[in-house]
Amino acid sequence: MEPVAPIIAIIDTETTGLSSDAQVTELAVRAYVHQSGSTSIDGYTMITCAYRVKPLRDGWQDSEEWQAAAQIQGKTTSGVEAHTWQLPDVISDLALLFEGYPVYWIAHNADFDRRLIRQSLGVSANRWWASPWFCTLRLRFGSDSHKLTAVARHFNVDTADSHSALGDVLILDHVLQKYSDCNHRDLEHAPVYSKLTALLPHMRLVPLYP
Protein backbone atom coordinates (compact mmCIF):
# COMPACT_ATOMS: atom_id res chain seq x y z
CA MET A 1 0.00 0.00 0.00
CA GLU A 2 1.35 3.43 -0.97
CA PRO A 3 1.76 5.93 1.89
CA VAL A 4 -1.06 8.42 2.37
CA ALA A 5 -0.11 11.94 1.31
CA PRO A 6 -0.23 14.33 4.27
CA ILE A 7 -2.85 16.98 4.80
CA ILE A 8 -1.28 20.42 4.45
CA ALA A 9 -3.14 22.53 7.02
CA ILE A 10 -2.73 26.29 7.42
CA ILE A 11 -3.83 27.24 10.94
CA ASP A 12 -4.31 30.41 12.98
CA THR A 13 -5.68 31.32 16.40
CA GLU A 14 -6.99 34.41 18.11
CA THR A 15 -6.46 34.49 21.86
CA THR A 16 -7.12 36.39 25.07
CA GLY A 17 -3.46 37.46 25.17
CA LEU A 18 0.11 36.29 24.93
CA SER A 19 0.92 34.97 28.42
CA SER A 20 0.96 31.47 29.87
CA ASP A 21 -2.60 32.13 31.12
CA ALA A 22 -3.97 33.21 27.73
CA GLN A 23 -6.54 31.04 25.96
CA VAL A 24 -7.83 30.50 22.44
CA THR A 25 -10.96 32.39 21.37
CA GLU A 26 -10.91 31.54 17.66
CA LEU A 27 -9.31 28.80 15.58
CA ALA A 28 -9.37 28.44 11.82
CA VAL A 29 -7.88 25.90 9.42
CA ARG A 30 -7.58 25.71 5.66
CA ALA A 31 -6.61 22.16 4.79
CA TYR A 32 -5.49 20.72 1.47
CA VAL A 33 -6.27 17.00 1.41
CA HIS A 34 -4.74 14.87 -1.34
CA GLN A 35 -7.23 12.23 -2.40
CA SER A 36 -6.34 8.63 -1.56
CA GLY A 37 -5.48 6.63 -4.63
CA SER A 38 -5.17 9.67 -6.85
CA THR A 39 -2.09 9.76 -9.06
CA SER A 40 -2.90 13.26 -10.34
CA ILE A 41 -1.17 16.32 -8.93
CA ASP A 42 -4.61 17.97 -9.15
CA GLY A 43 -6.21 15.30 -6.97
CA TYR A 44 -6.83 17.23 -3.79
CA THR A 45 -9.71 18.84 -1.90
CA MET A 46 -9.64 22.14 -0.02
CA ILE A 47 -11.50 22.30 3.31
CA THR A 48 -11.89 25.50 5.35
CA CYS A 49 -13.11 25.46 8.96
CA ALA A 50 -13.53 28.31 11.46
CA TYR A 51 -14.49 28.02 15.11
CA ARG A 52 -15.39 30.67 17.68
CA VAL A 53 -14.16 29.23 20.96
CA LYS A 54 -15.26 29.94 24.52
CA PRO A 55 -12.27 29.75 26.93
CA LEU A 56 -12.41 26.78 29.29
CA ARG A 57 -11.06 28.65 32.33
CA ASP A 58 -12.45 31.82 33.91
CA GLY A 59 -10.41 34.84 34.93
CA TRP A 60 -9.46 36.03 31.46
CA GLN A 61 -12.32 38.54 31.34
CA ASP A 62 -10.71 41.03 33.73
CA SER A 63 -7.08 40.68 32.70
CA GLU A 64 -5.23 43.64 31.26
CA GLU A 65 -3.90 41.55 28.39
CA TRP A 66 -7.44 40.64 27.34
CA GLN A 67 -8.48 44.29 27.37
CA ALA A 68 -5.56 45.06 25.05
CA ALA A 69 -6.26 42.04 22.82
CA ALA A 70 -9.97 42.86 22.60
CA GLN A 71 -9.17 46.35 21.40
CA ILE A 72 -6.84 45.09 18.67
CA GLN A 73 -9.22 42.33 17.57
CA GLY A 74 -12.39 44.43 17.80
CA LYS A 75 -14.02 41.97 20.20
CA THR A 76 -16.02 42.27 23.41
CA THR A 77 -16.06 40.10 26.51
CA SER A 78 -19.75 39.33 26.11
CA GLY A 79 -19.18 38.37 22.49
CA VAL A 80 -16.47 35.85 23.37
CA GLU A 81 -18.53 34.48 26.28
CA ALA A 82 -21.29 33.78 23.75
CA HIS A 83 -19.04 31.56 21.62
CA THR A 84 -20.50 28.06 21.43
CA TRP A 85 -17.43 25.91 20.68
CA GLN A 86 -14.99 24.65 23.29
CA LEU A 87 -11.52 23.64 22.22
CA PRO A 88 -11.79 19.88 22.97
CA ASP A 89 -14.89 19.80 20.73
CA VAL A 90 -12.99 21.62 17.99
CA ILE A 91 -10.29 18.95 18.15
CA SER A 92 -12.91 16.21 17.90
CA ASP A 93 -14.50 17.92 14.90
CA LEU A 94 -11.16 18.16 13.11
CA ALA A 95 -10.48 14.52 13.98
CA LEU A 96 -13.41 13.49 11.79
CA LEU A 97 -11.92 15.39 8.84
CA PHE A 98 -8.34 14.28 9.35
CA GLU A 99 -8.87 10.64 10.26
CA GLY A 100 -6.40 8.37 8.51
CA TYR A 101 -4.08 11.15 7.37
CA PRO A 102 -0.81 12.54 8.70
CA VAL A 103 -1.06 16.31 9.16
CA TYR A 104 1.57 18.99 8.46
CA TRP A 105 0.66 22.29 10.13
CA ILE A 106 1.66 25.68 8.72
CA ALA A 107 1.37 28.83 10.84
CA HIS A 108 2.76 32.35 10.97
CA ASN A 109 4.62 32.16 14.30
CA ALA A 110 3.94 28.46 14.80
CA ASP A 111 5.51 28.39 18.28
CA PHE A 112 2.80 30.73 19.54
CA ASP A 113 -0.19 28.95 18.00
CA ARG A 114 1.03 25.53 19.10
CA ARG A 115 1.66 26.75 22.66
CA LEU A 116 -1.73 28.46 22.95
CA ILE A 117 -3.57 25.40 21.69
CA ARG A 118 -1.79 23.13 24.13
CA GLN A 119 -2.25 25.39 27.16
CA SER A 120 -5.87 26.15 26.27
CA LEU A 121 -6.88 22.50 26.07
CA GLY A 122 -6.24 21.89 29.75
CA VAL A 123 -5.98 18.18 28.91
CA SER A 124 -3.44 15.93 27.22
CA ALA A 125 -2.73 17.27 23.77
CA ASN A 126 -4.20 15.40 20.85
CA ARG A 127 -1.74 13.46 18.70
CA TRP A 128 -2.02 16.04 15.88
CA TRP A 129 -0.40 18.75 17.96
CA ALA A 130 2.72 16.56 18.05
CA SER A 131 2.68 16.44 14.23
CA PRO A 132 5.26 18.45 12.28
CA TRP A 133 4.72 22.21 12.44
CA PHE A 134 6.20 24.63 9.91
CA CYS A 135 6.67 28.33 10.62
CA THR A 136 6.33 30.90 7.84
CA LEU A 137 8.39 33.38 9.87
CA ARG A 138 11.37 31.40 8.56
CA LEU A 139 10.70 32.47 4.99
CA ARG A 140 12.51 35.49 3.60
CA PHE A 141 9.56 37.48 2.34
CA GLY A 142 11.48 40.67 1.57
CA SER A 143 9.10 42.94 3.50
CA ASP A 144 10.24 45.46 6.11
CA SER A 145 8.41 43.55 8.85
CA HIS A 146 7.59 39.89 9.44
CA LYS A 147 4.09 40.78 10.70
CA LEU A 148 1.51 39.01 8.56
CA THR A 149 -0.21 42.23 7.53
CA ALA A 150 3.11 43.74 6.40
CA VAL A 151 4.02 40.61 4.44
CA ALA A 152 0.57 40.57 2.86
CA ARG A 153 0.88 44.20 1.74
CA HIS A 154 4.28 43.34 0.25
CA PHE A 155 2.53 40.79 -1.98
CA ASN A 156 -0.53 43.00 -2.60
CA VAL A 157 -2.81 40.69 -0.62
CA ASP A 158 -5.89 42.31 0.92
CA THR A 159 -5.67 42.56 4.74
CA ALA A 160 -9.18 43.85 5.46
CA ASP A 161 -10.09 40.67 7.37
CA SER A 162 -6.94 40.47 9.49
CA HIS A 163 -7.14 39.95 13.26
CA SER A 164 -9.62 37.12 12.89
CA ALA A 165 -8.44 33.52 12.75
CA LEU A 166 -10.23 32.82 9.47
CA GLY A 167 -9.13 36.10 7.92
CA ASP A 168 -5.48 35.50 8.81
CA VAL A 169 -5.57 31.91 7.51
CA LEU A 170 -6.90 33.10 4.15
CA ILE A 171 -4.33 35.91 4.03
CA LEU A 172 -1.48 33.51 4.77
CA ASP A 173 -2.73 31.06 2.17
CA HIS A 174 -2.71 33.78 -0.50
CA VAL A 175 0.70 35.06 0.62
CA LEU A 176 2.24 31.58 0.38
CA GLN A 177 0.84 31.06 -3.10
CA LYS A 178 2.33 34.36 -4.30
CA TYR A 179 5.62 33.70 -2.52
CA SER A 180 5.82 30.29 -4.20
CA ASP A 181 5.16 31.85 -7.60
CA CYS A 182 8.00 34.34 -7.06
CA ASN A 183 10.53 31.81 -5.75
CA HIS A 184 9.55 28.60 -7.57
CA ARG A 185 8.88 29.65 -11.13
CA ASP A 186 8.39 26.04 -12.19
CA LEU A 187 5.36 25.87 -9.88
CA GLU A 188 3.78 29.15 -10.96
CA HIS A 189 0.85 27.37 -12.60
CA ALA A 190 0.84 24.31 -10.33
CA PRO A 191 -1.99 23.45 -7.89
CA VAL A 192 -1.83 24.98 -4.43
CA TYR A 193 -1.06 21.62 -2.80
CA SER A 194 2.17 21.38 -4.80
CA LYS A 195 3.15 24.97 -4.03
CA LEU A 196 2.73 24.50 -0.28
CA THR A 197 4.53 21.15 -0.30
CA ALA A 198 7.50 22.74 -2.09
CA LEU A 199 7.76 25.41 0.61
CA LEU A 200 7.83 23.05 3.61
CA PRO A 201 11.62 22.44 3.68
CA HIS A 202 12.18 26.21 3.80
CA MET A 203 10.11 26.76 6.94
CA ARG A 204 10.82 23.64 8.97
CA LEU A 205 10.09 24.07 12.68
CA VAL A 206 10.51 20.45 13.82
CA PRO A 207 11.94 17.45 11.94
CA LEU A 208 9.79 16.42 9.01
CA TYR A 209 9.82 12.86 10.29
CA PRO A 210 10.17 13.13 14.08
Q: What are phi and psi of 47, to 5 degrees?
A: -125, 130
CB contact set of 126 (below 8 Å; sequence gap of 6+): 91, 95
Instruction: Calculate mean pLDDT across residues 180-189.
Output: 88
pLDDT > 50? residue 208: no
Please report, for the chain, the start and end positions of each structural domain, with discontinuous segments joined by +.
7-203
- pLDDT of residue 165 exceeding 60: yes
- Of the pLDDT bands very low, low, confident and very high (cuts 50, 70, 90), residue 34 is confident
CATH number, domain 7-203, options 3.30.420.10, 3.40.190.10, 3.40.50.620, 3.30.420.240 = 3.30.420.10
Model confidence at 64: pLDDT above 90:
yes
Q: How confident is the model at residue 209 (pLDDT cuts 50, 70, 90)?
A: very low
